[in-house]
Amino acid sequence: MQNNSDDKQPSWRDAIAVFLRRKVITMTFLGFSAGLPYLLVFSTLSAWLSEAGVQRTAIGFFSWVGITFSIKVLWAPVLDNLAIPWVTRFLGQRRSWMLTAQLGLLVGLFSMSTLDPGIQIWSLALLATFVAFCSATQDICIDAYRIEAAPRELQAAMAATYIFGYRLALLVSGAGAFYVADLYDWELAYQLMALLMLIGIVTTGLISEPSSVKSVRWGPLEISLLERLNTKRNVITSKLNRAMVLVYAPFFSFFQEYRGHAAILLLFIGVFRISDITMGVMANPFYLELGFTKSQIASIAKVFGFFMTILGSALGGVLVVKMGIMSPLLITAILVMITNLLFSILALMGPDLNWLALVIGADNLAGGMSNVVFIAFLSSLVNQNYTATQYALFSSIMTLPGKFAGGFSGLIIDSVGYPIFFVYAAFIGLPAILLIMYFMRNKLLSIA
């Protein structure tokens, strides 16, 4: 990775103009395709199950479907190395797997619409798991495509338009599905969502395969690892060793490239989002307990928050083009910490709509900026020989600590109350800020 700090710094106009690039615009449609299935196996599905009379215990078990998204690194090496017969020859490695996952989503969602949750709960559970698997697979492919299709300076803008499409899909699969179900039924809602997967399918057909992608990577690193393993020369052992090398090489490559800094990088990836994830777990209960109505929460936290997130994503993309990655990473980490402290003030003030709008606006603006910059940071770490596997590893690590810490949020609130909880949620983000400063001071990463 070369440091671009000596290059001429782009103007603000040039930084904004990147959003007009074709590849950047394309990520809006791929982001929509990625975001559409998510709620359809979580909160939207829970509402359908509840209306069908399914017991709360069974509905709770359906949340385990989400584990699929946290373990996608387990099959990411397959997407990096295994070609799909006939299909990969015509579409390429990334597009062939992407299209396969999207077709699986279309079929899976449509099949879910044909079931009665009251009497076919097990079949619905299996289909929901299949949809989640296809969705996680699509995520791996789209992340790999985004990193390989554009240079580093476009990664933040690509992430910003991806987030816009993703958030738009969440509105459609959340509020949109509810409207259709209210006017007609859940079966039609899921059928329409299945048909909307055609947006992703058509986009996959129109985009070009990144030129650097190969169906199987067998270079010097793989050969070196194979020589270490090949102590036995029989055919079965040799094939097993080759398979082990293809799985192990992406992880070995990461630790080899960053050597003594690999562990601290993984630690940083794990703690960067721990603050906002921990706080987000209890956000909706907080609004309700403070005295805001559901309509007020929907208008400010959901709709207004959506537009502020999109604005923040755009600003994050512009900042990376203008300033590089590390400085915006530090700025946004500090902003996330500050906005969490604002929630503590709101908790003391009570149900003040003006303060709610201020806090929600600031939080979503900072969150949108930080997500885009962080995605650009993660993308810069990836070795493009192992894009799918390494990015899947990073995206799994970046959410697990926050989800674990978030599980204790209710206990903390019961013990000390909301004001102290939000102070706690803010300050557990401090290690991320200190690590960024450590990286910048010691110039450990060759990222502008």
pLDDT digits over 11-20, tens only? 777 778 888 8
| Cα separation, 390 vs 254, whole angstroms | 8
Measured in whole angstroms, the distance separating CA 53 from the mean position of its chain's CA atoms is 32
3-state secondary structure the chain: CCCCCCCCCCCHHHHHHHHHCHHHHHHHHHHHHHHHHHHHCCHHHHHHHHHCCCCHHHHHHHHHHHHHHHCHHHCHHHHHHCCCCCHHHHHCHHHHHHHHHHHHHHHHHHHHHCCCCCCCHHHHHHHHHHHHHHHHHHHHHHHHHHHHHCCHHHHHHHHHHHHHHHHHHHHHHHHHHHHHHHHCCHHHHHHHHHHHCHHHHHHHHHCCCCCCCCCCCCCHHHHHHHHHHCCCCCHHHHHHHHHHHHHHHHHHHHHHHHHHHHHHHHHHHHHCCHHHHHHHHCHHHHHHHHCCCHHHHHHHHHHHHHHHHHHHHHHHHHHHHHHCCHHHHHHHHHHHHHHHHHHHHHHHHCCCHHHHHHHHHHHHHHHHHHHHHHHHHHHHHCCHHHHHHHHHHHHHHCCHHHHHHHCCHHHHHHHHCHHHHHHHHHHCCHHHHHHHHHHHHHCCCCCC
> Residue 268 corresponds to which amino acid?
F
Whether 351 contacts 292, CB under 8 Å: yes
> Residue 168 corresponds to which amino acid?
L
CB atoms within 10 A of CB 203: 20
pLDDT in tens, 263-319: 999 999 999 998 888 887 677 778 888 888 877 877 887 788 889 999 999 999 899
Cβ neighbours for 280, distance < 8 A, ≥ 6 positions apart: 406
User: Counting beta carbons within 10 angstroms of the beta carbon of residue 375, is it exposed (0 to 12), middle (13 to 18) or buried (19 or more)?
Assistant: buried
Torsion sign across C-alpha atoms 94, 95, 96, 100: positive
| Cα separation, 121 vs 61, whole angstroms | 11
| Cα separation, 5 vs 444, whole angstroms | 15
Max alpha carbon distance in the chain (Å)? 73
Q: Which of 270, 207, 214 is nearest to 21 (CA)?
A: 207
pLDDT in tens, 191-244: 999 999 999 999 999 999 987 655 555 556 655 665 666 655 554 455 566 667
What's the token pair of residue 234? 């029989």
| Cα separation, 21 vs 138, whole angstroms | 23
CB atoms within 10 A of CB 139: 24
pLDDT in tens, 355-410: 999 999 999 999 999 999 999 999 989 887 888 889 998 988 887 787 777 777 77
pLDDT in tens, 144-175: 999 999 888 889 899 999 999 999 999 899 88
Identify the structural domains of the chain with CATH numbers, from first to last: 15-216 (1.20.1250.20), 243-448 (1.20.1250.20)
Q: Which of 353, 342, 345 is nearest to 300 (CA)?
A: 353
> Residue 208 corresponds to which amino acid?
S
Please report the pLDDT score of residue 315 as a whole number. Answer: 93
Mean pLDDT along residues 137-144: 96
Please report the pLDDT score of residue 428 as a whole number. Answer: 92
Measured in whole angstroms, the distance separating CA 321 from the mean position of its chain's CA atoms is 21
Please report the pLDDT score of residue 221 as a whole number. Answer: 62
Please report the pLDDT score of residue 212 as a whole number. Answer: 65
| Cα separation, 155 vs 381, whole angstroms | 12
Mean residue pLDDT of the chain comes to: 86
CB atoms within 10 A of CB 70: 15
CB atoms within 10 A of CB 308: 20
